[in-house]
Protein backbone atom coordinates (compact mmCIF):
# COMPACT_ATOMS: atom_id res chain seq x y z
CA UNK A 1 0.00 0.00 0.00
CA UNK A 2 1.35 3.40 -0.97
CA UNK A 3 2.05 5.92 1.82
CA UNK A 4 1.78 9.52 0.60
CA UNK A 5 2.68 10.92 -2.79
CA UNK A 6 6.06 10.67 -4.50
CA UNK A 7 7.70 14.13 -4.04
CA UNK A 8 9.19 13.82 -7.54
CA UNK A 9 5.71 14.44 -8.96
CA UNK A 10 5.98 18.06 -7.84
CA UNK A 11 9.11 18.67 -9.90
CA UNK A 12 8.51 21.22 -12.67
CA UNK A 13 11.52 20.29 -14.79
CA UNK A 14 14.30 17.74 -15.16
CA UNK A 15 17.96 18.17 -15.95
CA UNK A 16 18.86 18.36 -19.63
CA UNK A 17 22.01 16.56 -20.81
CA UNK A 18 24.80 18.53 -22.42
CA UNK A 19 25.11 18.47 -26.22
CA UNK A 20 28.46 16.69 -25.86
CA UNK A 21 29.06 13.50 -23.89
CA UNK A 22 32.72 12.82 -23.14
CA UNK A 23 32.91 9.03 -22.73
CA UNK A 24 35.95 7.30 -21.23
CA UNK A 25 36.41 3.52 -21.34
CA UNK A 26 38.44 2.05 -18.49
CA UNK A 27 39.77 -1.41 -17.62
CA UNK A 28 42.20 -2.00 -14.73
CA UNK A 29 41.83 -5.58 -13.44
CA UNK A 30 44.53 -5.26 -10.75
CA UNK A 31 47.19 -2.79 -9.60
CA UNK A 32 50.43 -4.69 -10.21
CA UNK A 33 52.66 -5.67 -13.11
CA UNK A 34 51.56 -3.97 -16.33
CA UNK A 35 48.79 -2.15 -14.44
CA UNK A 36 50.88 -0.80 -11.53
CA UNK A 37 50.52 2.87 -12.49
CA UNK A 38 47.27 2.73 -14.44
CA UNK A 39 45.03 4.11 -11.69
CA UNK A 40 47.23 7.21 -11.57
CA UNK A 41 47.09 7.35 -15.38
CA UNK A 42 43.28 7.23 -15.19
CA UNK A 43 43.23 10.07 -12.66
CA UNK A 44 45.39 12.26 -14.88
CA UNK A 45 43.31 11.34 -17.93
CA UNK A 46 40.06 12.49 -16.31
CA UNK A 47 41.64 15.60 -14.79
CA UNK A 48 43.26 16.72 -18.05
CA UNK A 49 40.05 15.99 -19.98
CA UNK A 50 38.10 18.34 -17.72
CA UNK A 51 40.79 21.01 -17.55
CA UNK A 52 41.43 21.00 -21.31
CA UNK A 53 37.81 20.98 -22.45
CA UNK A 54 36.61 24.42 -23.52
CA UNK A 55 33.01 23.49 -24.35
CA UNK A 56 30.23 22.29 -22.02
CA UNK A 57 30.03 18.50 -21.69
CA UNK A 58 28.84 15.67 -19.48
CA UNK A 59 31.36 13.02 -18.49
CA UNK A 60 30.47 9.36 -18.84
CA UNK A 61 32.82 6.60 -17.64
CA UNK A 62 32.30 2.96 -18.60
CA UNK A 63 34.33 0.66 -16.39
CA UNK A 64 34.90 -2.73 -17.98
CA UNK A 65 35.23 -4.89 -14.86
CA UNK A 66 38.06 -3.22 -12.94
CA UNK A 67 39.32 -4.13 -9.47
CA UNK A 68 37.69 -2.82 -6.28
CA UNK A 69 40.19 0.00 -5.72
CA UNK A 70 39.46 1.48 -9.14
CA UNK A 71 35.70 1.11 -8.78
CA UNK A 72 35.85 2.84 -5.37
CA UNK A 73 37.73 5.76 -6.92
CA UNK A 74 35.19 6.11 -9.74
CA UNK A 75 32.21 5.91 -7.40
CA UNK A 76 33.71 8.64 -5.22
CA UNK A 77 34.30 10.80 -8.30
CA UNK A 78 30.67 10.34 -9.34
CA UNK A 79 29.42 11.21 -5.86
CA UNK A 80 31.58 14.35 -5.90
CA UNK A 81 29.89 15.50 -9.11
CA UNK A 82 32.91 15.03 -11.35
CA UNK A 83 31.37 12.13 -13.31
CA UNK A 84 27.80 12.60 -14.54
CA UNK A 85 27.20 9.04 -15.78
CA UNK A 86 29.02 6.02 -14.35
CA UNK A 87 28.46 2.56 -15.82
CA UNK A 88 30.05 -0.36 -13.96
CA UNK A 89 30.27 -3.67 -15.78
CA UNK A 90 30.78 -6.82 -13.72
CA UNK A 91 32.69 -8.43 -16.62
CA UNK A 92 35.10 -7.26 -19.28
CA UNK A 93 32.95 -6.87 -22.39
CA UNK A 94 35.92 -5.92 -24.55
CA UNK A 95 36.15 -2.65 -26.42
CA UNK A 96 33.45 -3.58 -28.91
CA UNK A 97 31.02 -4.60 -26.19
CA UNK A 98 31.72 -1.39 -24.30
CA UNK A 99 31.20 0.67 -27.48
CA UNK A 100 27.81 -1.02 -27.93
CA UNK A 101 26.75 0.34 -24.55
CA UNK A 102 28.48 3.73 -24.73
CA UNK A 103 27.26 4.70 -28.20
CA UNK A 104 23.69 3.77 -27.32
CA UNK A 105 23.65 5.22 -23.79
CA UNK A 106 25.45 8.55 -24.28
CA UNK A 107 22.73 11.22 -24.14
CA UNK A 108 24.65 13.86 -26.11
CA UNK A 109 24.34 14.61 -29.80
CA UNK A 110 28.15 14.44 -30.01
CA UNK A 111 30.26 11.70 -28.41
CA UNK A 112 33.85 12.53 -27.45
CA UNK A 113 35.27 9.04 -26.86
CA UNK A 114 38.60 8.21 -25.22
CA UNK A 115 40.54 5.32 -23.79
CA UNK A 116 41.52 5.90 -20.17
CA UNK A 117 45.21 6.49 -20.91
CA UNK A 118 44.82 9.69 -22.95
CA UNK A 119 46.33 13.00 -21.86
CA UNK A 120 44.41 16.06 -23.03
CA UNK A 121 45.70 19.55 -23.75
CA UNK A 122 43.76 22.85 -23.65
CA UNK A 123 41.43 23.34 -26.61
CA UNK A 124 41.14 19.68 -27.55
CA UNK A 125 37.34 19.66 -27.55
CA UNK A 126 36.56 22.88 -29.41
CA UNK A 127 39.15 22.19 -32.11
CA UNK A 128 37.76 18.68 -32.63
CA UNK A 129 34.18 19.93 -32.83
CA UNK A 130 35.27 22.64 -35.27
CA UNK A 131 36.52 19.99 -37.69
CA UNK A 132 33.45 17.83 -37.06
CA UNK A 133 31.06 20.68 -37.87
CA UNK A 134 33.01 22.21 -40.77
CA UNK A 135 33.72 19.18 -42.95
CA UNK A 136 30.80 17.22 -44.44
CA UNK A 137 29.92 13.65 -43.55
CA UNK A 138 32.53 13.29 -40.80
CA UNK A 139 32.75 9.95 -39.02
CA UNK A 140 35.45 10.66 -36.41
CA UNK A 141 37.99 13.34 -35.49
CA UNK A 142 41.10 12.55 -33.44
CA UNK A 143 42.64 15.48 -31.57
CA UNK A 144 46.18 15.17 -32.92
CA UNK A 145 47.96 14.38 -36.19
CA UNK A 146 49.54 10.94 -36.41
CA UNK A 147 50.33 8.44 -39.15
CA UNK A 148 47.50 6.01 -39.94
CA UNK A 149 47.12 3.45 -42.77
CA UNK A 150 46.20 5.23 -46.00
CA UNK A 151 43.73 2.48 -46.97
CA UNK A 152 41.56 3.62 -44.05
CA UNK A 153 41.07 7.16 -45.35
CA UNK A 154 40.39 6.57 -49.04
CA UNK A 155 36.99 8.25 -48.55
CA UNK A 156 38.77 11.42 -47.48
CA UNK A 157 40.94 11.36 -50.60
CA UNK A 158 37.95 10.68 -52.85
CA UNK A 159 35.96 13.53 -51.30
CA UNK A 160 38.89 15.95 -51.59
CA UNK A 161 39.48 15.03 -55.23
CA UNK A 162 35.85 15.83 -56.08
CA UNK A 163 35.58 19.04 -54.05
CA UNK A 164 37.11 22.14 -55.73
CA UNK A 165 37.16 24.21 -52.50
CA UNK A 166 39.59 21.88 -50.73
CA UNK A 167 43.33 22.55 -50.66
CA UNK A 168 45.29 19.29 -50.43
CA UNK A 169 48.95 18.94 -49.38
CA UNK A 170 50.89 15.69 -49.37
CA UNK A 171 54.34 14.76 -48.10
CA UNK A 172 56.38 14.84 -44.89
CA UNK A 173 54.21 17.55 -43.35
CA UNK A 174 54.28 16.35 -39.74
CA UNK A 175 57.49 17.15 -37.91
CA UNK A 176 59.66 14.30 -36.68
CA UNK A 177 59.22 15.52 -33.09
CA UNK A 178 55.41 15.48 -33.37
CA UNK A 179 55.41 12.01 -34.91
CA UNK A 180 57.92 10.57 -32.44
CA UNK A 181 56.07 11.91 -29.39
CA UNK A 182 53.09 9.67 -30.09
CA UNK A 183 54.85 6.75 -31.78
CA UNK A 184 57.13 6.17 -28.76
CA UNK A 185 54.09 5.26 -26.66
CA UNK A 186 53.12 2.37 -28.94
CA UNK A 187 55.87 -0.05 -27.94
CA UNK A 188 57.56 -0.30 -31.35
CA UNK A 189 60.91 -2.14 -31.49
CA UNK A 190 64.08 -0.06 -31.77
CA UNK A 191 64.49 1.50 -35.20
CA UNK A 192 60.87 0.89 -36.24
CA UNK A 193 59.75 4.46 -35.53
CA UNK A 194 62.40 5.94 -37.83
CA UNK A 195 61.61 3.38 -40.50
CA UNK A 196 57.88 4.07 -40.52
CA UNK A 197 58.35 7.85 -40.49
CA UNK A 198 60.73 7.73 -43.46
CA UNK A 199 58.48 5.43 -45.51
CA UNK A 200 55.12 7.17 -44.97
CA UNK A 201 53.67 10.61 -45.57
CA UNK A 202 50.81 12.87 -44.55
CA UNK A 203 47.73 14.22 -46.30
CA UNK A 204 46.67 17.64 -45.01
CA UNK A 205 43.46 19.41 -46.02
CA UNK A 206 42.17 22.94 -45.68
CA UNK A 207 38.43 23.47 -46.12
CA UNK A 208 36.50 26.64 -45.27
CA UNK A 209 39.56 27.91 -43.42
CA UNK A 210 39.86 24.84 -41.18
CA UNK A 211 42.92 22.59 -41.50
CA UNK A 212 42.80 18.86 -40.76
CA UNK A 213 44.90 15.78 -41.50
CA UNK A 214 43.48 12.70 -43.20
CA UNK A 215 43.08 9.71 -40.92
CA UNK A 216 42.05 9.12 -37.30
CA UNK A 217 42.64 6.73 -34.41
CA UNK A 218 40.13 4.78 -32.31
CA UNK A 219 41.99 5.45 -29.02
CA UNK A 220 40.42 8.93 -28.99
CA UNK A 221 37.92 10.59 -31.30
CA UNK A 222 34.92 12.89 -31.50
CA UNK A 223 31.92 11.93 -33.65
CA UNK A 224 28.21 12.30 -34.16
CA UNK A 225 26.22 9.86 -32.02
CA UNK A 226 23.82 9.13 -34.90
CA UNK A 227 26.72 8.13 -37.17
CA UNK A 228 28.51 5.96 -34.59
CA UNK A 229 25.30 4.09 -33.84
CA UNK A 230 25.09 2.97 -37.46
CA UNK A 231 27.80 0.44 -36.57
CA UNK A 232 26.23 -0.97 -33.40
CA UNK A 233 26.36 -3.78 -32.44
CA UNK A 234 30.04 -4.62 -32.75
CA UNK A 235 30.47 -8.39 -32.82
CA UNK A 236 34.10 -8.73 -31.74
CA UNK A 237 35.20 -12.14 -30.47
CA UNK A 238 38.37 -10.81 -28.80
CA UNK A 239 38.77 -8.05 -26.16
CA UNK A 240 41.33 -6.24 -28.35
CA UNK A 241 42.72 -6.49 -31.86
CA UNK A 242 39.51 -5.98 -33.83
CA UNK A 243 38.91 -2.32 -33.04
CA UNK A 244 39.70 -1.30 -36.62
CA UNK A 245 36.26 -2.61 -37.53
CA UNK A 246 34.96 0.89 -36.78
CA UNK A 247 37.75 2.53 -38.80
CA UNK A 248 37.06 0.33 -41.81
CA UNK A 249 33.31 0.62 -41.49
CA UNK A 250 33.39 4.43 -41.48
CA UNK A 251 35.70 4.57 -44.48
CA UNK A 252 33.76 1.95 -46.43
CA UNK A 253 30.51 3.89 -45.98
CA UNK A 254 32.06 7.12 -47.21
CA UNK A 255 32.56 8.89 -43.89
CA UNK A 256 35.58 11.14 -43.37
CA UNK A 257 38.15 10.20 -40.73
CA UNK A 258 40.13 13.30 -39.80
CA UNK A 259 42.60 14.71 -37.26
CA UNK A 260 43.14 18.20 -35.87
CA UNK A 261 46.05 20.26 -37.18
CA UNK A 262 47.72 20.49 -33.75
CA UNK A 263 48.59 17.77 -31.20
CA UNK A 264 45.91 18.24 -28.52
CA UNK A 265 45.91 14.73 -27.04
CA UNK A 266 48.69 12.30 -26.19
CA UNK A 267 48.79 8.62 -25.28
CA UNK A 268 50.27 7.87 -21.83
CA UNK A 269 49.91 4.08 -22.16
CA UNK A 270 50.46 2.36 -18.79
CA UNK A 271 53.09 4.72 -17.36
CA UNK A 272 52.50 8.15 -15.88
CA UNK A 273 54.92 10.80 -17.22
CA UNK A 274 57.16 11.98 -14.33
CA UNK A 275 56.16 15.64 -14.70
CA UNK A 276 52.50 14.69 -14.17
CA UNK A 277 52.83 12.61 -11.00
CA UNK A 278 51.64 15.52 -8.86
CA UNK A 279 48.39 15.56 -10.87
CA UNK A 280 47.54 12.06 -9.69
CA UNK A 281 48.11 13.00 -6.03
CA UNK A 282 46.12 16.23 -5.80
CA UNK A 283 42.32 16.07 -5.52
CA UNK A 284 40.59 17.54 -8.58
CA UNK A 285 38.38 20.58 -8.17
CA UNK A 286 34.71 19.87 -7.66
CA UNK A 287 32.42 20.66 -10.55
CA UNK A 288 29.95 22.56 -8.37
CA UNK A 289 30.33 25.00 -5.50
CA UNK A 290 29.40 23.60 -2.10
CA UNK A 291 26.61 25.55 -0.45
CA UNK A 292 26.12 26.13 3.27
CA UNK A 293 23.46 23.39 3.19
CA UNK A 294 26.18 20.83 2.35
CA UNK A 295 27.93 21.21 5.71
CA UNK A 296 27.07 18.35 8.10
CA UNK A 297 25.89 20.62 10.95
CA UNK A 298 23.25 22.11 8.62
CA UNK A 299 22.59 19.22 6.26
CA UNK A 300 21.76 16.65 8.93
CA UNK A 301 19.06 18.73 10.74
CA UNK A 302 17.48 19.70 7.41
CA UNK A 303 17.24 16.07 6.31
CA UNK A 304 15.77 15.15 9.73
CA UNK A 305 13.20 17.95 9.37
CA UNK A 306 12.30 16.78 5.85
CA UNK A 307 11.75 13.26 7.15
CA UNK A 308 9.53 14.48 10.02
CA UNK A 309 7.40 16.63 7.68
CA UNK A 310 6.92 13.73 5.27
CA UNK A 311 5.84 11.42 8.09
CA UNK A 312 3.53 14.10 9.52
CA UNK A 313 1.57 14.48 6.28
CA UNK A 314 1.78 10.80 5.35
CA UNK A 315 1.15 8.82 8.55
**What domains are defined for the chain?**
14-281 (3.90.550.10)
Check pLDDT > 90 for residue 289.
no
Q: For the segment 26-54, what is each residue's pLDDT rounded down to a tens digit?
A: 999 999 999 999 999 999 999 999 999 99
pLDDT at 27: 97
Q: For the segment 197-251, what is each residue's pLDDT rounded down to a tens digit?
A: 999 999 999 999 999 999 999 999 999 999 999 998 887 666 555 678 899 999 9
Q: For the segment 148-188, what is each residue's pLDDT rounded down to a tens digit?
A: 999 999 999 999 999 999 999 999 999 999 999 998 887 77
Contacts of 308 (CB under 8 A, 6+ apart): none
pLDDT at 173: 96
Query: How does DSSP assign 210-271, residue by residue?
Result: EEEEE--BTTEEEEEHHHHGGGPSP--SSSSS-THHHHHHHHHTT-EEEEESS--EEE-TTS
Lowest mean pLDDT among 138-142, 286-290, 294-298: 286-290
Q: Any idea how long the chain is?
A: 315
Q: For the segment 82-109, what is each residue's pLDDT rounded down to a tens digit?
A: 999 999 999 999 999 999 999 999 999 9
Q: For the segment 46-76, what is each residue's pLDDT rounded down to a tens digit?
A: 999 999 999 999 999 999 999 999 999 999 9
Check pLDDT > 70 for residue 290.
no
Count of CB atoms within 10 A of residue 298's CB? 12
Amino acid sequence: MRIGQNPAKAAKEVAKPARITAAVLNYIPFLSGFYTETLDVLKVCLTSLREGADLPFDLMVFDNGSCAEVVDYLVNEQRAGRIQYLLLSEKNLGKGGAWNVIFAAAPGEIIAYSDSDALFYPGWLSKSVEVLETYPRVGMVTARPLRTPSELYTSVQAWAASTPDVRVEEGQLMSWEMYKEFAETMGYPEGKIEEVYASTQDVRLTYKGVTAYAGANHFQFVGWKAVLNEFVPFNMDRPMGQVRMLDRGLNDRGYLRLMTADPLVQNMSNTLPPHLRHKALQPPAATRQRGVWDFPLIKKPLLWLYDRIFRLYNP
